[in-house]
Structure 1
């Protein structure tokens, strides 16, 4: 573990003549008001989304809808604690201003901050992919989903994701590669400047690859789910009411995927570049702080997906659009509350009828 003397050059403020180091310093003297505002907005948004999801979970006792709401609740709760913990640490760092040097005397504070950044950064991406896989199975294999993917299994998957994220966050400590203060002096993460060997690069590549794979899995599963719903609507128009809840959930998943891609892609790609090259060049150093700030917006925007993309809100928006456009854009019977039992019953009947010729043979 490096001592404060070994990091003395890294901990000092940039000198006036060192333009490269000054550029990496990236506006250290930012008002503490900004992290306080971001933390407050994130906490209020996630709290409101949790209240909506809990109310919906109590309303829908059927398995398919409840499993999706349970996954969504796990995601929003994780985002809430991310704002509470990371936000409080960030506010403390900004408020400390020049007295921040004592923080790295034993590197304990930076390790805690870095582990929180990794844990609350990887969890939303992993949970988003789990939700996409769960909904893809629920739409394409409804019988298997209703019989094999119980709420107990969903809770086990959520616990596994959280434990897996904890293990990733603890890896630098286990392998004696402590987290380090980043060039902006406002956050801690894996080694990006003092990379010594392949293990430091491995941590960066592991985090970025897991994030990019999660986004890819979400895209593929959501694409399969969307195409399946569109095909079912075209070929089985009489039962489209039974799939209205699927359209609502896939709309939310698509929004979550778009938000995650926009917010996380710059940061994940930047970390992958550092892991491959093994060093920070001037271009990467300038964009690193902006990339991590974009990533933090993911936890603020996620809850608004569940706040805004609900049937009641969408119905009102469609009504306003229809009135303004002067024509009927969508048949609102598609958005009426429907039972999941009808969808499962239709799937069971179709499966049973398709298996009749095989039994005769």
Structure 2
């Protein structure tokens, strides 16, 4: 693979900097990398604090499993920003002179492993969270017995191991990761001389990511339809709510947001990886520009994920709803009605708090999702 520009020049002119004032463009790239890294670390730290606080509150309820998976996702995103961002800054600080600071390509291999691991693992964790919620809503009794805290932690460990195994496959098959044309990062070999193994590895990575997105879509759709059908049935048969279902609604909203962010951010690079693996695009400027764009889109996934948990919380959504009422509604009646509904649901929650499982209770079925049968008090 050829590179334009002298690696030891004071103002490096590479294909990432082909324009007037290439040093300025490189400085902008360094600044954007540093800002992205800082914002990602701060966002994920705040989201992790919120999730830990929520886990202590719902430690013995069905939401605890979801919160453990979500915490694993946030920790993965945090480490991805910290490690990948630090490597990128080091490369920029070294003037992208890989021949000097990485003559044996060991750092490039490590960089590629990190890019693959912290790219695939969040997609796998997102699908695992969607499956957990789908089981919790459609098969609550099985969820109660099969998804304890130790089971969730084991699934988290297995997911991380799977992501690490896929990331290490090029090293195990003695296929080094390839320095990309911008000389600022390393990834699977998508250009230049390749054999069937070089073609298979990026396809495997992309197919696993796309399957994870598809599984999330199917499970989230089933969860949403089940909750909607249960709520409609309760309203039609009893004209009342057995218990506030806000916890499930909150989790489903978060899952839908995570799935949307993952599809928008990672979908393009996964599809591009398959296309580039099957068709050799050479090193033309259009292919390079396209790859650089989809990679930058993928980096935003780890920035947007934590904001799902920061913004899509019941307390935040309720305050936003009240604010919208004050701004849009001239009548105070609607606001008072909303406050009455929230107070009534809070009272029901307090009366039901002695029951640790399930998330909503009805004494006279049919039972909504995530509900276990409780014995009635003798009269």
CA distance 1:26–1:220, change in 2 (3 Å): farther
Contact 2:137–2:223 under 8 Å retained in 1: yes
Please give the TM-score of this superposition, normalised by the length of structure 2: 0.83
- 2:290 matched to which residue of 1? 287
Residues 54 and 164 of structure 1: CA distance in aligned 2, closer, same or farther (over 3 Å): same
* Cα distance change of structure 1 residues 231 and 83 upon mapping to structure 2, 3 Å threshold: same
Which residue in the other structure is 1:243 paired with? 245
Contact 1:270–1:284 (CA under 8 A) maintained in structure 2: no
Q: Structure 2: how far apart are the matches of 1:119 and 1:55?
A: 28
Cα separation, 2, equivalents of 1:347 and 1:136: 23
How far has the Cα of 1:269 moved from its partner?
1.1
Residue 113 of structure 1 deviates from its aligned partner by 0.3
TM-aligned CA deviation for residue 267 of structure 1 = 0.8
Q: Considering only aligned residues, what root-mean-square deviation do their CA atoms show, in Å?
A: 2.7
Q: How does 1:253-332 map to 2 (within 5 A)?
A: 253-280=255-282, 282=284, 283-326=286-329, 328=334, 331=338
2:191 corresponds to 1:193:
yes
Within 1, Cα distance between the matches of 2:173 and 2:82? Answer: 28
Q: Does 1:341 align with 2:344?
A: no
What SS class does the counterpart of residue 102 from structure 1 fall into? helix
Whole-angstrom distance in 1 between the partners of 2:124 and 2:42 = 23
| Structure 1 contact 136–221 (Cα < 8 Å) conserved | yes
Contact 1:43 1:80 in 2 (8 A): yes
**Structure number with higher helix proportion:** 1
Q: Distance in 2 between matches of 1:130 and 1:204?
A: 22
* Bigger Cα displacement from structure 2, 304-313 vs 191-200: 191-200
- Bigger CA drift: 67-76 or 98-107? 98-107
Q: Residue 287 and residue 14 in structure 1: after superposition, are their counterparts in 2 closer, same or farther (change >3 A)?
A: farther
The answer for the alignment partner of 1:166 in structure 2 is 164
Change (3 A) 1:98 1:277: closer
Number of equivalenced pairs: 340
SS in 1 for 2:245: helix
1:10 alignment partner, SS class: coil
Measured after TM superposition, the shift of residue 244 of structure 1 is 1.4
Distance across 2 between alignment mates of 1:162 and 1:109: 21
Structure 1 unmatched ranges of 5 or more: 1-8, 16-20, 356-361
Aligned residue number for residue 10 of structure 2? none
Which stretch has the larger CA shift, 129-138 or 94-103? 94-103
CA contact (8 A) 1:71 1:154 kept: yes
Change (3 A) 1:26 1:43: farther
* Aligned-partner Cα distance in 2 for 1:190–1:348: 57
Instruction: Tell me how far apart the structure 1 counterparts of residues 96 and 261 of structure 2 sit (CA, whole Å).
Output: 35
Q: Give unpaired runs (5+ residues) of structure 2.
A: 8-12, 368-372, 374-379
